[in-house]
């Protein structure tokens, strides 16, 4: 039996056993199932409101973080079409890979010759 199938069956068995235990417990006691569903619904609605309130702040903060020059250069460096990037900050060039350098002479040969590629200049 494959590990994925075994894990799926284990989780299915756990869920089925828990469901059966809950059903047998509620059948043996006087439990107001509708009140439980109503309370659960309230929790789901309030959680949804909280997520809806926080989502713009979280995505906005992530967008600001990803908009930094270092992150943009890291994304450019991963692009196969870009052979080299020249920047004016030596510290920034040192933190990134070989494609980001402070002068065109330090770039890889393919970036200097411009063979089927583009070169970005950021100052």
Residue 1's pLDDT band (cuts 50, 70, 90)? confident
The whole-number pLDDT of residue 87 equals: 66
Higher pLDDT, 80 or 37: 37
Q: Which residues pair with 85 in a beta bridge?
A: 100, 120
Euclidean distance between CA atoms 24 and 7, whole angstroms: 26
The whole-number pLDDT of residue 69 equals: 74
> How many Cα neighbours within 13 Å face the side chain of 70?
9
Q: What is the mean pLDDT of residues 39-55?
A: 92
Q: Which helix (H) or strand (E) holds 101?
A: strand 100-101
> How many Cα neighbours within 13 Å face the side chain of 13?
6
- The H-assigned helical ranges of 1-89 are 3-28, 33-66, 69-78
The whole-number pLDDT of residue 58 equals: 93
**Is 60 exceeded by the pLDDT of residue 117?**
no
- Model confidence over 89-109: pLDDT tens digits? 666 666 666 666 656 665 556
Euclidean distance between CA atoms 47 and 41, whole angstroms: 10
Euclidean distance between CA atoms 110 and 26, whole angstroms: 72
DSSP conformation class of 104: G
- Model confidence over 27-37: pLDDT tens digits? 777 777 788 88
Name the residue ranges covered by the structural domains of the chain: 69-121
Euclidean distance between CA atoms 89 and 122, whole angstroms: 10
């Amino acid at each position: 039996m494959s590990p994925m199938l075994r894990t799926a069956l284990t989780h299915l068995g756990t869920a089925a056993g828990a469901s059966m235990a809950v059903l047998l417990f509620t059948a043996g006691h006087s439990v107001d199932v509708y009140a439980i569903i109503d309370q659960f619904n309230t929790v789901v609605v309030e959680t949804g409101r909280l997520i809806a309130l926080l989502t713009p702040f979280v995505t906005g903060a992530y967008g600001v973080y990803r908009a930094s020059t270092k992150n943009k250069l890291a994304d450019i460096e991963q692009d196969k079409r870009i052979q080299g990037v020249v920047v004016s900050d030596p510290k920034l060039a040192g933190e990134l890979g070989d494609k980001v350098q402070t002068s065109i002479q330090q770039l890889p040969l393919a970036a200097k010759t411009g063979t089927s590629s583009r070169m970005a200049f950021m100052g």
